[in-house]
Amino acid sequence: MRVRNLLVGVEAALSAVLLITAGLLTGSFVRLMHVDKGFDIERVLSVRLSLPSTKYTQDAQITAFFERVLDGTRTLPGVLSASFVSSLPLQGETWMDLVAPEHDQRPLFERPMVNMRFVTPGYFQTLRIPFREGRTFEDSQRGRKVAILSQGTARLLWPRQSVLGRRMLHNNETVEVVGVTADIRSTSLDKDPVPVVYLPDWQRPRLSASLLVRTATDPRGIAAALRQAIRQIDADVPVPQMRTMQQVMSDSVAERRFQMLLVMLFAAAALALAGFGIYGVVSYSVARRRQEMGIRTALGAGAAGLERMVLWQAIRPVAAGLAVGVAAALAAISAAAS
């Protein structure tokens, strides 16, 4: 009997640990999905375009293609804005560079490391990233070296100062700061915003970039028309599957979601096993004590009293197991927090 009660207690303890852990992971995941991203993902469609290097050999050709795509996209019904970016938000740190204020005398590798993004002027409007100072890039700036900084980068280079119009060093060149935007979670939802420097795409044309399109309705409704518009410009450019920014965000937390679902599966299995185990032990105990219960009934014991006796004997190992399981779960919370 003691061995059976011990097994029931162990099952109850394991189910308690797994259920509490699953609850914590679920709550953490829900909070993660509602964290302030710094940009708006509603009704935004994205597609990664890669130009064939054998056909697009000059910067002017690359720039002209992307401008034609933007012009064609903006004429589609329901499109509010469109832009290109070298790497989508929530895609990790893809390009890192050293920057510093002008006249900084520090050695090169002591200067701050920041994320670089190459964007077209409509990028901030498309993702609704607010400006803190200045404004987006303009065509009149094409002959100048200009950049837009995130708030984190601005604080890193010029703490507690206005940075508009200041100059910074990047790749041994002097770049003028023409704007400061709010910080966004550009690498991951579960990481704090990192310093970002935005450069206009015409300063360094790239063969691949992500097209972002904000629409007035469901963005998936323009996918076919957008694909056709790109093919009319150049049928040799492959157009892969299009994703909404909500799908991009969902894909970025796929690992976290898998961990949560796995623990929930184990917790449900442990709960089911504990339930079957408790039922089996109680049923076996009652069957073995049938003669004893008959004698108790003959001596005047009522049905309610017999039920209380059976329930008390069944609840004791379960209660002990739950107490141990809760204690173990609380001890494991600090380890699970990471």
pTM equals 0.79
> What local confidence, expressed as pLDDT, does residue 86 receive?
93
Q: Is the pLDDT of residue 26 over 90?
A: no
Question: Are 119 and 200 within 8 A, CB to CB?
Answer: yes
Of all residues in the chain, what percent carry a pLDDT higher than 70?
96
**Mean pLDDT estimate for the chain:** 86
Grade residue 338 by pLDDT with cuts at 50, 70 and 90.
low
